[in-house]
A and B are shown apart, each in its own frame.
Chain A
Amino acid sequence: MSKMQGGVVFERVTKKYGSVTAVDDVSFEVAQGELVTLLGPSGCGKTTTLRMVAGLEAVTAGRVLIGGKDVTLRAANERDVSMVFQSYALFPHMTVLENVCYGPISMRIDKAKARELAREKLRMLGLADFENRLPSELSGGQQQRVAVARSLVLEPAVLLFDEPLSNLDAKLRRRVREEIRELQQSLALTVLYVTHDQEEALAVSDHIIVMNHGKIAQQGTPNSLYETPNSRFLADFIGDANLIDGELARAGEHASFASGGVSAPVRANGMEPGPATLAVRPQRLRVVDVAQGVVPGVCKRVAYLGSRIEYVVSTAWGELLAFDNELHPPRRRDDAVGIAFDPDAVIVLPR
């Protein structure tokens, strides 16, 4: 990525609250027209990072650039960004139209023109009939769209979303996230998006930045993060994973992983022999007869979920979670089974 005109550049930024470091020397870029997600468990510094882009928190060290300009010392109302808040933060005493007009009027655009701009965005989001309602008279999904319209109307260089779906119920969440992605792609908006929900991040992002303890743990496309996590934390945080501690051994081209006295062939991916952790997605594990398996075990729990069967199998590698998406005839509890997997489908991580 190069420093593109409209995007955000976050350069070696640190944020301290007294002696606590919330964000520790973080650098990243958001290119124009791209949706970048800050993902991480609560308290990882992702929201603080977003708020520093917005200008709602002052940075302790480092620089923030928006559209190529250094805005580190500018207040929130002097930055070319706008934000959709987790709570939406709609002004409860103003109608939908007044809420959406608020930004343009702050910028001293005259009232008639501001109203025109606002109506255009409301139409675009399918809210044309609601302009005279108060926020309290709208459903959660509608309130969310008003918040988006209110931010869009300023046509900011960067649009910020702070966990925008967390106040919606599960079904609506899926639809709204598709709407947001659709809107972002059709208007080529530059978006920085914060969430703690890895599935949401995988679904909407061009690029994901995973944060942990105030630092960037890994960044990349959704696909690369899921398929090639670079740490135990990443493998565990994005998607489900079985994590097995053991030893990596090598004999020429072939590598094998051993734990609890049972070893299996794996692809080493350049890892040196020694202590290692094996990460395996549950859907990559197959539950087979003992003879065909690499790791023998006993079936502990079986749950039939319709779309798949979930097994917990007790083995020398510990309890392994395995999904059977083909819905083979289910095995029973206490059945002796084997676990099999493709050596290319597992990831060896340093321990």
Chain B
Amino acid sequence: MRAIGGDVSLWPLLTASLIALACAYKEIDRGTAMAAGFAVAWALGTALIVGHSGPSFGWGPAIALGALTVAFARAIARRGLFAGDPTVATIVVVIAVLLAIFIFYPVAKSLLAAVFDAQGRFAPQVATQRLFTEDIWGLGCFGGGTRCGVAVNSAMLATIVGMLSTLLGLVFALVVQRGGRRYSGILKLMSILPIVTPPFVIALALVVLFGRTGLVTGWLDACCGIPRSRWIYGLPGVTLAQLLTFSPIAFMILFGALSAISPALEEAAQTLRGSRSRVFRTVTWPLLRPALANAFLLGFVESLADFGNPIVLAGNFEVLSTKIFFAVAGAQHDPGRAAALATVLLGLTLLAFYLQQRWIGKLSYVTVTGKGDGGLPGKLPKPLWTTCFSVAGLWIVFTLVCYAVIFVGGFVKDIGRGDMTPSFAHFVAGFGIAFDNKASMFVGSAWDSLFTTIEVAAISAPLTAIVGLLAAYVITRHRFVGRRAFEFLTLVSFAIPGTVIGVSYIVAFNVAPLELTGGMAILVLCFVFRNMPVGVRAGVAALAQIDKTLDEASSTLRASTLRTLREVILPLLRPAILATLVFSFTHAMTAVSAVIFLATAKYNLATVYVINRVEAGEYPLAIAYSAVLILVMLFVLLAMQLLVGDTRLGRRPAAALVTGN
């Protein structure tokens, strides 16, 4: 540890480490546990909470701290915690420590910035001022005239988007689920689009279509004399963009819920002399209500956290996520203000998640039973079907036009001004390759960021999968005190908006002892801990399919937990592992909100590069790059799908995975 150098605060740490070592050697588990636990707590406490001005953490202290953590975990396992299983203890303790360092510590630290004034003095009254200003909570827009506060804007936008995206999702779900196999193409499209589309792409397309010089605007001006305006910048534009971006998510939820309603229920209602519309009203709709509430809240949360669309389209309509960004990155640089805004955003998000857990958890009707009921999904009442079909059709056309704009836009001179002369100029500017002295050179300005993005995504994806699946394994397969708390910890970062994480990382990791900003490591860490909940969920879902008796059989056959994990669980989890890899890879490539704070000139990311081009007004290059990003991710998705296809077990389908009853 190179930090040792007369620093008095390090003596207790050193002493505790030595005691831990001695106890471990003598096999006094209680001593090891206490000393190692104290050492870890002391090190983290002095370094992170008290803060010291010493040099930054290097590999040495990191390894020493890791070793102490593992020693602590194994010692408490031998004392009887975690059912005496050292492997489980190690996994739980290590992940908990990592979450503490990379989620809870930065978020807490940055939110606390709200109670310090510009000179760094503790000043609670400043916090009150910051939190309760007209800027955040003002209701001026309803009375007429002045503007509303950002929190009100955000909440209003999120409510509108939540409701409309739920409605659209329902329309699509009804068409696809009740329309028969003909429309299953929509299902595929809707499930893939949100994964491969960076969050600002739709906004870009909308600007190209409806901006002041947009294609549609120009056409309307020419044919019908509707004057050009900037209506798209503001609430209508952001709403439209978020609807296009998030309604696929609502669709996926509602499609799942509709499919889970046993056809036998509707058939029963029909045989009880119910007309089509009566069956829909009295059976289908009530059973859908929990899913509708769920879809609404998810749309609400996604809209709150969205950064890509508002930064392109919001104009004077300010929302929390972009306001936080400008409070840190803009000319004003006011971390206290950013912290106050982040607190409000986090509060709104957590409130929505809380409602989801409390309210919907109790509402859900489980209609799926072990025995599969036969029967066909019922037909919709005629007027409802016609309405749904037309709305869905129009919306699909609109979506396709948006994507067409992206794919055409990169290859014409200036689609933003209606100049449709074919041109490769933007593509060359971004992705030009020069052949010089037999060596090819990546001279395009976008290459650096693309390579960095792929590198960061490729490094963080396997890490995310490992951490997420290990957490899922201990959560589903082992009973230990604090299991539910641990599960909550692993999933909670899902509820923290990216912007909040970004601000937090900037505040927390800008100074020693963990000086990470400006490097690539912080990008990787950010992705790993932000995407981990998805790995955990995928793992939990996959493990639920693998009968627990397999673990027990392995255990009674004298295998250690480690061997069970390696030989039984991991091979059976392969599909889930690949799914998590794909997800975290594509998510790392499309993320904007958190990393826009963390990317630097040296380690720039594709999405940040595109946003910067948009800010600079270079739409065509931004559009060309977006198209390339979408294609890269489609390619990755396809490649992974081929890989997964080969991992089916045996010559019969994978049904064998579910053994027992």
Contacts of B660 in A (CB 8 A): 85-89
- What CA separation (Å) do A90 and B546 show in the bound complex? 11
Residues of B close to A160: CB separation below 8 A:
556
- Interfacial chain B residues near A91, Cβ < 8 Å: 550, 553-554, 567-568
Question: Which 8 residue pairs are nearest across A and B when measured between Cβ atoms?
Answer: A87-B660, A136-B656, A89-B553, A89-B549, A103-B557, A134-B650, A106-B558, A76-B555
Closest to A101 in B: B557
Do the beta carbons of A76 and B572 come within 8 Å of each other?
no
Q: Is A77 in the interface zone, CB < 8 Å from B?
A: yes
CA distance A103 to B560 in the complex (A): 11
Interface residue A58 (Cβ < 8 Å from any Cβ of B): yes
Q: Is B434 positioned at the interface, with any CB of A under 8 Å from its CB?
A: no
Q: Which residues of B contact A102 (CB under 8 A)?
A: 554, 557, 559, 567
State whether the Cβ of B368 lies closer than 8 Å to any Cβ in chain A.
no
B518 interfacial by beta-carbon distance below 8 Å:
no
Binary interface encoding of chain A residues 144-182 relative to chain B, with 1 for a CB under 8 A from any of its CBs, else 0: 000000110010000010000001000000000000000
Q: Which residues of B contact A154 (CB under 8 A)?
A: 557-558
A62 at the interface (CB under 8 A from B): no
With an 8 A cutoff between CB atoms, is B651 at the interface?
yes
B556 cross-chain contacts in A, Cβ below 8 A = 54-56, 76-77, 79, 81-83, 151, 160
Q: Report if A107 contacts B (CB, 8 A).
A: yes
Residues of B within 8 A of A151 (CB): 556-557
Cβ B650 vs Cβ A90 within 8 A: no
Q: Can you list 26 A-B contacts with CB-CB less than 8 angstroms, sorted by A residue number? A: A73-B84, A76-B552, A81-B556, A82-B556, A83-B553, A85-B553, A87-B659, A87-B660, A88-B659, A89-B550, A89-B552, A89-B553, A90-B659, A92-B572, A92-B650, A92-B657, A93-B572, A93-B650, A103-B558, A106-B557, A134-B652, A136-B656, A150-B553, A154-B558, A160-B556, A167-B661
A214 CA to B434 CA in the complex, in Å?
A: 80
Residue of A nearest to B568 (CB): A91
B547 located at the interface, meaning its Cβ lies under 8 Å from any Cβ of chain A in the complex: yes
Q: Is there a chain B Cβ closer than 8 Å to A335's Cβ? A: no
> Residues of B contacting A79 with CB < 8 Å?
556
Does B83 sit at the interface, judged by CB under 8 A?
A: yes
Q: Is A303 an interface residue (CB 8 A)?
A: no
A334 within 8 A of partner (CB): no
B649: interface (CB < 8 Å): yes
Is there a chain B Cβ closer than 8 Å to A203's Cβ?
no
How far in angstroms is the closest Cβ of chain B from A13? 17
Other than A56-B556, A134-B650, give 7 A-B pairs with Cβ distance below 8 A: A55-B555, A77-B556, A77-B557, A82-B557, A86-B661, A88-B659, A89-B552
Q: Which residues of the partner chain B approach A33 to less than 8 Å between Cβ atoms?
A: none
Q: How far is the CA of A308 from the CA of B649 in the complex (A)?
A: 50
The verdict on A137 contacting chain B, using a C-beta distance below 8 Å, is: yes
**Chain B 533-561 residues near chain A, CB threshold 8 A:** 547, 549-550, 552-560
**In the complex, chain A residues whose CB is within 8 Å of the CB of B659:** 87-90, 92
Q: Tell whether, in the assembled complex, residue A56 and residue B651 are in contact, meaning their CB atoms are under 8 Å apart.
A: no
In whole angstroms, how far apart are the Cα atoms of A107 and B558 in the complex?
6
Residue-wise interface mask of B (229-260) relative to A, using a CB-CB cutoff of 8 A (1 in contact, 0 not): 00000000000000000000000000000000
Task: Provide the bound-state CA to CA distance between A151 and B558, in Å.
Answer: 11
* Minimum CB–CB distance for A78 against chain B, Å: 8
- Interface positions, chain A 84-126, Cβ under 8 Å from B, are 85-93, 102-103, 106-107
**How far apart sit A320 and B455, CA to CA, in the bound complex (Å)?**
81
- Most interface-central of B552, B554, B556, B567 (chain A CB within 10 A): B556
For window 85-131 of chain B, which residues contact chain A by CB distance below 8 Å? 85
B151 to chain A, nearest CB (A): 44
Rounded to whole Å, the gap between the CB of B348 and the closest CB of chain A is 37
Is B393 at the interface (CB under 8 A from chain A)?
no
A135 contacts the other chain (CB 8 A): yes
A75 on interface, CB distance cutoff 8 Å: yes
Please measure, in the bound complex, the distance between the C-alpha atom of A103 and the C-alpha atom of B563, giving whole angstroms. 11
Kindly identify which residue among B549, B550, B650 contacts A136, using a CB–CB cutoff of 8 Å.
B650
Bound: A230/B589 CA distance, A: 73
Q: Given A93-B571, A134-B656, A137-B650, does the pair A85, B549 have CB atoms closer than 8 Å?
A: yes
Q: Within the complex, what minimum Cβ distance (angstroms) separates A59 from chain B? A: 12
Q: Contact at B656–A77, with CB atoms within 8 Å? A: no
* Chain A residue at smallest Cβ distance from B661: A87
Q: Flag if B655 contacts A136 (CB, 8 Å).
A: yes
Contact B552 A87 (CB under 8 A): no
| Chain B neighbourhood of A89, CB < 8 A | 547, 549-550, 552-553, 659-660
Q: How far is the CA of A54 from the CA of B649 in the complex (A)?
A: 29
Q: Decide yes or no: A85 and B650 within 8 Å by CB, A92-B659, A102-B567, A106-B558 being known contacts.
A: no
**Which secondary structure characterizes the binding site on chain A?**
loop
Interface readout for A288-332 with B: 1 if CB under 8 Å, 0 if not?
000000000000000000000000000000000000000000000
Q: A75-B84, A135-B656 are in contact. Are A87 and B559 (CB under 8 A)?
A: no
CB distance from B502 to the nearest CB of A (A): 41
B649 touching A134 by the CB < 8 A rule? yes
Q: A85-B660, A106-B563 are in contact. Are A77 and B649 (CB under 8 A)?
A: no
Considering the chains assembled together, what is the distance between the CA atoms of A75 and B552 in angstroms? 11
B651 with A137: CB separation less than 8 A:
yes
Chain B, residue nearest A160 (CB): B556
Cα of A160 to Cα of B552 in the assembled complex, Å: 13
| Interface membership of chain A positions 44-57, coded 1 if the CB is closer than 8 angstroms to chain B and 0 otherwise | 00000000001110
* Residue of A whose beta carbon sits closest to that of B563: A106
- A93 to B607: give the CA distance in the assembly, Å: 41
Taken residue by residue from 126 to 143, chain A's Cβ proximity to chain B (1 for < 8 Å, 0 otherwise) reads as 000000001111000000
Distance to closest chain A CB from B320 (angstroms) = 44
Residues of A within 8 A of B649 (CB): 92-93, 134, 136
Is B559 a contact partner of A106 (Cβ separation < 8 A)? yes
A83 vs B572: C-alpha distance in the bound complex, in angstroms? Answer: 22
Chain B hits for A137, CB < 8 A: 650-652
- Expressed in whole angstroms, the Cα–Cα distance for A311 and B83 within the complex equals 56
Contacts of B553 in A (CB 8 A): 83, 85, 89-91, 150
With the chains together, A77 CA to B560 CA distance in Å? 6
Q: Which residues of A contact B567 (CB under 8 A)?
A: 91, 102
Is there an interface contact between B557 and A75, defined as CB atoms closer than 8 Å? Answer: no
A58–B563 Cα gap in the complex (Å)? Answer: 21
Which residues from A are CB-within-8-Å of B651?
134, 137
CB distance from B631 to the nearest CB of A (A): 35
CA–CA, A86 to B657, complex, Å?
15
- Indicate which residue in B547, B558, B560, B568 contacts A87 across the interface (CB closer than 8 Å): B547
B656 to chain A, nearest CB (A): 3
Nearest CB of chain A from residue B362's CB, rounded to whole Å: 23
Within the complex, the shortest CB–CB distance from B359 to chain A, in Å, comes to 27
A82, B553: Cα distance in complex, Å:
8
Q: Nearest-CB distance from B287 to chain A (Å)? A: 31
Complexed CA–CA distance, A91 and B567 (Å): 9
Kindly name the residue among A75, A78, A136 whose own CB sees the greatest number of chain B CB atoms within 10 A: A136
**Across the interface, which residues of B come within 8 angstroms of A54, CB to CB?**
552, 556
> Contact at A77–B559, with CB atoms within 8 Å?
yes
Q: Which residues of B contact A78 (CB under 8 A)?
A: 558
C-alpha gap A78/B550 in the complex (Å): 17
Which residues 551-594 in B have Cβ within 8 Å of A in the complex?
552-560, 563, 567-568, 571-572
Give chain A residues whose Cβ lies under 8 Å from the Cβ of B85: 75
Q: Which of B83, B558, B568, B661 contacts A77 (CB 8 A)?
A: B558
Contacting residues of chain B (63-84) with chain A, CB-CB under 8 angstroms? 83-84
Task: State the CA gap A90–B658 with chains docked (Å).
Answer: 11
Q: A73 to B85, alpha carbons, bound, how many Å?
A: 12
Q: Give chain A residues whose Cβ lies under 8 Å from the Cβ of B555.
A: 55-56, 75-77
| Given A92-B649, A93-B649, A83 and B656 contact (CB-CB distance below 8 Å) | no
Complex Cα spacing A186 to B547, Å: 33
Name the A residues within 8 Å of B650 (CB-CB).
Answer: 92-93, 134, 136-137
Name the A residues within 8 Å of B552 (CB-CB): 54, 56, 76, 83, 85, 89
Compute how far the CA of A150 lies from the CA of B27 in the bound complex, rounded to whole angstroms. Answer: 36
**What residues of chain B lie closer than 8 Å to A106, measured between beta carbons?**
554, 557-560, 563
- Whole-angstrom distance from the CB of A119 to the nearest CB of chain B? 17
